[in-house]
Amino acid sequence: MKTGSAAARAALDTLFSTPDDAGGLSLPPGRFFSLIAGVLDRAAGTAPAGPAVRPAACVDYINALELEFGAANVEKILLEEMFEAVVRHRVLPADLGCPEGTPRFLIDAVLKVTSVLKTLPSCLPEEEKSRLLPSAAALFSGLPSFDDASCFEAAASALTARDRFRTDRVFKWVNGQLIASELNSAKPLGSFFGFHGVRAIFQDHFRDFSLGRTNIPLLVYSLPGYGKTSMTVSYAMAAENTVLILPEPEALERAWDDLIAPLARRPDHKFIIFFDDIDPRNVDWYNFRTNVGGAFSLPGNIMPVLSSNFEFPASILSRGRKVSYPVFDELRCTEMIEDFLRDFGLKTLPPNLVSLIGADYTEEFGQKKFSELSPRTLIRYLSIYAQDREKRRLIAELAMGQMITRPDAELFYAFNIDLMRSLYGDEYIARLREEKLRSL
């Protein structure tokens, strides 16, 4: 057992260790690698460094792995890390199953580590077996078995199955780690109404990115409640072979090296880094300017998307493609209602019906049923309309009458002015009015 364990420990270094400043090899930091190395070191008979009242035995490391990570997670973590180690050696998943595309020593290292760990608990000395936690006895039993005839292909298959970008398409970037995440804000593209120009930009730009034609950043701006997040996420996920990365907004101001490195190693995927709900007025743009049109260029498989309720400065707009939502007024409201009715099954759209639905929506806003006039609250209203047969019948009857109420344009104007004043101040409103007068 000692000989095989020593070889497995050397194989662990082959996969994961890098030269340190002292001229030795260092495993990645973290408790997991420390415990795996301890298991193999003690199984190989390597004495621990430094004085100890009772040096930790192999069984102590095995028990610690079970207690700190759980039997169900050890195999998962180990195989995922092995896959990432192979990728760091510039072997892509498509090449992993081809002997001529994968250095043999990498697969040999995987086989040595997994074969020793799989049987190790059953080979412990009797004294150590007596101290083995029952739940730790099968700690490595889930590791795949490889026979001599197909060990290369089987090992490659086992590693490829642990490709995180194959099994998940959405990740959060938290504390320097990519964490697979569920996404609730993605919707079918057919569930968006109005804003045809904005939607066309999203569809074209994300498609071109997925085809390798561009990775120019998107800079998305609108007033609150326009559905920037949901639309960005949905169109990003609708493109082929894309993976969505969701960093914390603060990550925009930090160094990008740790975030970019694992993505750059995977040119077989397209990564969209979505910085949502940022405030451009208070951002330190140094790292963005450095990586986008500055001293460095992002790899072609990585594209940032930034979303904000505030306009981006000119120095940032020059480095990306601006996507600006038109202000939500009575015309945008009507446009959304028309799209909704088509989706609801109406082949012809009676103008009176569209007008009355818009008027009813603004009336309910006036009754404080909604806190804002926005695409968000209109979608909420239309969802209620779709489920309320009596409301639909009443509005349809009124649409056949002589008196037709229309959405109140002044109500939209007053709401939008108040909202922009609260967000941007009186100077912004004065500038808008001056620009309006110049255009006359």
Specify whether 17 is located in the same domain as 38: yes
Asked whether residue 182 is domain-assigned, the answer is no
Q: Are 221 and 323 in contact (CB under 8 A)?
A: yes
Confidence class of residue 97 from pLDDT cuts 50, 70 and 90? low
Domain containing residue 273: 189-324
| pLDDT for position 24 | 85
- Phi, psi for 178 (deg, rounded to 5): -90, 120
Residue matched to tokens 């120009």: 197
Residue 399 belongs to some domain of the structure:
yes
121 belongs to a structural domain: yes
Query: Do 337 and 316 share a structural domain?
Result: no
Span 145-182, pLDDT tens digits: 766 556 777 888 888 888 999 889 999 999 888 999 98
Q: Write out pLDDT tens, residues 418-433.
A: 999 999 988 888 887 7
What is the pairing mode between strands 170-174 and 242-247? parallel
Residue 358: pLDDT band (50, 70, 90) is: very high
What is the mean predicted confidence (pLDDT) over 328-341? 96
Are residues 137 and 278 both part of a single domain? Answer: no
Whether residues 146 and 200 share a domain: the answer is no
Q: Are residues 316 and 361 in the same domain?
A: no
pTM (2 d.p.): 0.86
Higher pLDDT, 99 or 55: 55
Residue 48 has pLDDT above 70, yes or no: no
Residue 76 domain flag: yes
Same domain, yes or no: 7 and 154: yes
Q: Say yes or no: 201 and 156 in one domain.
A: no
For residue 147, what pLDDT is reported?
Answer: 62
- 252 lies in some domain: yes
**pLDDT > 60? residue 284:** yes
**Residue 248 belongs to a domain:** yes
Let me know whether 13 and 46 are in one domain.
Answer: yes
Alpha-carbon distance 329 to 188, whole Å?
25
Using alpha carbons, list the distances in angstroms from residue 344 to 146, 260, 347, 354. 56, 43, 9, 13
Residue 20 belongs to some domain of the structure: yes
Query: In which band, very low, low, confident or very high, does the pLDDT at 91 lie, cut at 50, 70 and 90?
Result: confident
CA-based diameter of the chain, in Å?
96
Exposed / middle / buried, residue 272 (Cβ in 10 Å: 0-12, 13-18, 19+): buried
Distances (CA, A) of 239 to 49, 192, 233: 53, 16, 10
Task: Identify the three-state secondary structure at position 260.
Answer: helix
Quick count: other Cβ atoms within 10 Å of Cβ 175?
7
Q: Are residues 276 and 376 in the same domain?
A: no
For 366-376, the pLDDT digits (tens) are 999 999 999 99
Q: How far is Cα of residue 283 from the mean position of the Cα atoms in its chain?
A: 21
Same domain assignment for residues 20 and 156:
yes
d(CA 417, CA 429): 7
194-199 average pLDDT score: 96
Return the CATH number at 220: 3.40.50.300
76 and 27 within one domain = yes
**One domain, residues 198 and 317:** yes
Token pair belonging to 206: 């994300």
pLDDT band at 8 (very low <50, low <70, confident <90, very high): very high
Number of residues in the chain? 440
Mean pLDDT of the chain: 89
Looking at the domain assignment, is residue 396 inside a domain?
yes
pLDDT for the residue 68: 95
Q: What is the pLDDT of residues 388-414, one digit of tens each?
A: 999 999 999 888 887 788 899 999 999
As for how many domains the chain has, the answer is 3
Please work out, in degrees rounded to the nearest 5, the angle formed at the alpha carbon of residue 21 by the alpha carbons of 253 and 7.
110
Kindly report the backbone phi and psi dihedral angles of residue 177, in degrees, each rounded to the nearest multiple of 5, phi listed first.
-130, 145
User: CA–CA distance from 163 to each of 10, 73, 111, 170, 348 (Å)?
Assistant: 24, 15, 18, 13, 49
